Amino acid sequence: IIDYNPKVTQENKESEHLRYPLSKKYPKIEQTDTFLLSNDFKRRLIYDAFLTFLSKIKTGLENWKYFLLTDKFINYSTDLLITALIIYKRFINESKEEMNDLSCFIKTFLGCILIASKFTDDFSFYTEDFIKNWDADPVSIYYTETNILNTLDFNINVKESECKWVIKHIRKIK
């Protein structure tokens, strides 16, 4: 079992953006902004994650069929996808791993969604359902989550300013 609570030091103990699961400090999306709740906005979030992946790879992609799977991501909440995108961008920036296959994108972004779900109080799905819906291997999911958390040194605290930046950035994508 992975301890998903970030490392707490005396300096960051009082930090207002340090959150644990079930925290009330997580920035929630305004329910009145219909664009943020739309599938179009979610597609733009997923597309931005995909562009981040493309900036990391060194060779061309061969398995474009996996791109069709990205539509499954739309089933997740906007809050969850925003948090997953922030975690994903951090992971891509920190990771030294070589990623040349689109299945790496799918698996890694799914890992970020699972991690984000634990920090956004969005338990609308469970790992077992996740495994069934994506035909995923539990060991692979555990390895991916562990790899992401270790790469980020368990620092996956998401600030409200980051969420606002993502929303502003995604609105500009056409």
pLDDT, tens digit, for every residue of 130-145? 666 666 677 777 778 8
Whole-angstrom distance, CA of residue 64 vs CA of residue 62:
6
Whole-angstrom distance, CA of residue 164 vs CA of residue 168:
6
Lowest mean pLDDT among 1-15, 40-54, 66-80, 95-109: 1-15
Average pLDDT of the chain to the nearest whole number = 70
Rounded to two decimals, the pTM is 0.69
- Note whether residue 14 is domain-resident: no
How many independent structural domains does the chain possess? 1
pLDDT of residue 145: 81
- Note whether residue 153 is domain-resident: yes
CA dihedral 96, 130, 106, 137 (to 10 degrees): 70
Question: What is the domain-level CATH number for residue 166?
Answer: 1.10.472
- Note whether residue 10 is domain-resident: no
Whole-angstrom distance, CA of residue 19 vs CA of residue 98:
31
**Residue 104: domain span:** 34-172
- Note whether residue 73 is domain-resident: yes
